């Protein structure tokens, strides 16, 4: 997913993917000997996150081409607060404030602050995810769903394939493979749209939209309509898991067409205090 300093190009996914979301308590020193132990420790670490600072590097396949977006992120889990800096553009979203809209400094024309719906077309255009999926909590739900799908064959689908250095830190390399990934018919129920269907099934709504050309947008489906959805988030997911933090720091997803998205987290700071004023538009380092 070059960085565009336009309104429609300043919003990142979260990959999220990329795509991170509870106090970091160190995992016991006992070594994790199995993939399942490592996975369970990762889920505990994610659930213990309260605040995060990090640099996020996203590459997402948009209309057949990989597009890059980079940002610096500050995130508080509860109440949820997010600040993003994209080398010019800035985004501030506070749970329960501003009528649910994000405050935007586009960093270019029209040179004035904007208030935009995170679920609206301007903020979602050419992005895999919304700011609501930022943080590792979303990834944790995808992992849990994959573990549920694997059942008692978890060692078949989830495999530690080795160790790797990432930004100078030692990491486990985890492969999550569903080689029999298939697209299956789904009948839209009353009140559903592509986003709600994707959330319920722990799949990518962008992937669903991309593969249902009759739907022009996420809400362009009707009750009784049959759409095609994947039966897993991806055909192959590769995670680099920091051995000390036991948190994912690199997430790469492949689908039936090839590389779908990558999310890289660097300079990750877990549960270091973030002053309340850093989530206000008048903070000294911001340009709202």
pLDDT digits (tens, 9 = 90+) for 206-234: 999 999 999 999 999 999 999 999 999 99
CA distance 277 to 32: 39
26 pLDDT above the threshold of 80: no
Query: Residues 233-274: pLDDT tens digits?
Result: 999 999 999 999 999 999 999 999 999 999 999 999 999 999
Surface-to-core class of residue 252, CB atoms within 10 Å of its CB (0-12 exposed, 13-18 middle, 19+ buried): middle
CA distances from 163 to 43, 57, 147, 174 (A): 19, 21, 21, 9
The CATH class that applies to domain 7-152+259-279 reads mainly beta
CA distance 258 to 6: 28
Domain assignments of the chain as residue spans, ordered by start: 7-152+259-279
Query: Residues 100-157: pLDDT tens digits?
Result: 999 999 999 888 999 999 999 999 999 999 999 999 999 999 999 999 999 999 999 9
- Count CB atoms within 10 A of the CB of residue 209: 21
More confident residue, 193 or 109: 193
Confidence band of 10 (pLDDT split at 50, 70, 90): very low
CA distances from 228 to 194, 198, 252 (A): 11, 11, 23
Tokens linked to 235: 């055909």
Confidence band of 33 (pLDDT split at 50, 70, 90): low
What is the model's pTM?
Answer: 0.87
């Amino acid at each position: 997913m070059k960085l565009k300093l336009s309104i429609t190009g300043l919003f990142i996914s979260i990959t999220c993917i990329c795509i991170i979301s509870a106090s970091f308590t160190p995992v016991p020193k006992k070594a994790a000997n199995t993939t399942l132990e490592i996975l369970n420790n990762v889920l505990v670490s994610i659930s213990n996150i309260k605040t995060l600072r990090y640099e996020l590097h996203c590459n997402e396949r948009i209309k057949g081409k990989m597009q890059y977006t980079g940002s610096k992120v500050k995130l508080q889990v509860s109440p949820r607060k997010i600040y993003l800096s994209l080398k010019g553009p800035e985004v501030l979203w506070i749970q329960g404030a501003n009528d649910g809209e994000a405050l935007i400094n586009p960093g270019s024309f029209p040179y004035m602050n904007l208030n935009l719906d995170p679920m609206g077309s301007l903020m979602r255009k050419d992005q895999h995810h919304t700011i609501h999926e930022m943080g590792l909590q979303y990834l944790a739900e995808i992992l849990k769903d994959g573990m549920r799908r694997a059942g008692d064959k978890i060692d078949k689908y989830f495999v530690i394939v080795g160790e790797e250095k990432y930004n100078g830190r030692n990491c486990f390399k985890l492969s999550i493979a569903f080689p029999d990934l298939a697209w299956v018919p789904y009948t839209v129920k009353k009140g559903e749209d592509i986003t709600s269907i994707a959330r319920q099934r722990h799949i990518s709504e962008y992937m669903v939209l991309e593969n249902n050309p009759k739907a022009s947008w996420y809400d362009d489906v009707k009750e009784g309509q049959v759409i095609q959805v994947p039966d897993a988030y991806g055909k192959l997911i590769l995670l680099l898991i920091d051995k000390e933090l036991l948190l994912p720091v690199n997430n790469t997803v492949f689908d039936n067409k090839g590389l779908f998205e990558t999310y890289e987290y660097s300079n990750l700071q877990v549960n270091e205090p973030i002053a309340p004023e850093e989530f206000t538009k008048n903070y000294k380092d911001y340009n709202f």
